[in-house]
Structure 1
Amino acid sequence: MSGNRLLLVCLWGLVMMSALGVVHTTQQSRALTAQLGQAQRHRDELRYEQERLLLERGAWSAYSRIEQVAREELDMRAPTPAERVLVPSGR
């Protein structure tokens, strides 16, 4: 009977270790799922920020914006026909 009792204790110990392993794995899985959700939200925020910055860059580099800055801040203007000089090509 002593051999059967030892086998039963060993099996019980293995079952308990297996149960603790399942609990640990489940907890780890939940934590990683939460981290994945956070990473996906952060990715979405970064995509939104990138789209916003691309739109802003497009607005700042639009021809009308460049012309406005040239006129107002740099005091530039288009040359009049009398101020234009045509340079012949050297072909």
Structure 2
Amino acid sequence: MAAAGGNRWLLTALWMLLMVSALGVVHTTQQSRALTAKLEQAQRHRDELRYEQERLLLERGAWSAYSRIEQVAREELNMRAPTPAERVLVTPDKR
């Protein structure tokens, strides 16, 4: 009879360990799914930032193009290229 009680206790302990293990698997699976979703969201955000960076680099290139600078100088600053009569040649001072 004592052996039957010991077997019953062992069976109960094994059943409890099995349940704890099953709950651990469920928890780990849920956590894995949540982290995978976060990873995908972070990757989408990274892709959006890369797209925006490329767009901004193109825009910076367009704004710094010589034709754009010349247009702003003429239209907004009323600048123009000097005529040959207005040009002054500066020579180095020879001492």
Task: Work out whether the TM-score is over 0.5.
Answer: yes
Aligned-partner Cα distance in 1 for 2:56–2:28: 41
CA distance in 1 between counterparts of 2:53 and 2:92 reads: 44
The aligned amino acid for 1:80 is: T
**Structure 2 Cα separation of the partners of residues 74 and 44 of structure 1:** 40
* 1:40 paired residue number: 43
Equivalences for residues 1-91 of structure 1 within 5 A: 1-90=4-93
Runs of 4+ in 1 over 3 A off after TM superposition: none
TM-score of the pair, normalised by structure 1: 0.97
How far apart are 1:89 and its partner, in Å? 2.1
Q: Report the TM-score when normalising by structure 2.
A: 0.93
- Identify unmatched segments of 5+ residues in structure 2: none
Q: Report which of the two structures shows the higher radius of gyration computed on alpha carbons.
A: 2
Superposed CA RMSD in Å reads: 0.9
Letter in 2 for 1:17: V
